[in-house]
Amino acid sequence: MKCDDPDESLEAGNIDFRDLLLNATEALLVGGTGNMPYGDVMEMAYGALMDYITDIDTSTGALQINDGIIAPFTEDQSGITGTLTIGKRVNQCYCRF
């Protein structure tokens, strides 16, 4: 299956995520138009998100996303940091992350 050319996709109302999320150089390298048809706000937001997701907390050695999102979410959900309770009626099944 072949993807539409970027210009054809734009005319058809499709969003080219390469151009939406990457800077012009990176988008062009992976097959986007490279001419920033959607502006740069989403590219900046995507970059900030990727920086946050891949940043390591030097005090714990864990990814920032673990301490900032996953740990509080799992603790709130199950009462145990890093544990999600899937179903209490199915033999107390737990998943550890």
**pLDDT, tens digit (0-9, with 9 covering 90-100), for 40-96:** 899 999 999 898 888 998 888 888 888 888 889 999 998 998 888 876 554 555 555
Task: Give the pairing of strands 93-96 and 83-87.
Answer: antiparallel
Q: For position 13, what pLDDT does the model report?
A: 74
Within 8 A by CB and 6+ apart from 75, the residues are 81, 82
pLDDT given for residue 25 in this prediction: 93
pLDDT digits 0-9 by tens, 3-31: 656 556 556 678 889 999 999 999 999 99
Q: What pLDDT shows up at residue 8?
A: 61
DSSP 61: -
45/74 Cα distance (integer angstroms): 25
* Bridge partners, 84 (sequence order): 95
pLDDT value of residue 2 = 63
Q: What percent of the chain has pLDDT over 90?
A: 30
* 55 three-state secondary structure: coil
Give the pLDDT of residue 14.
81
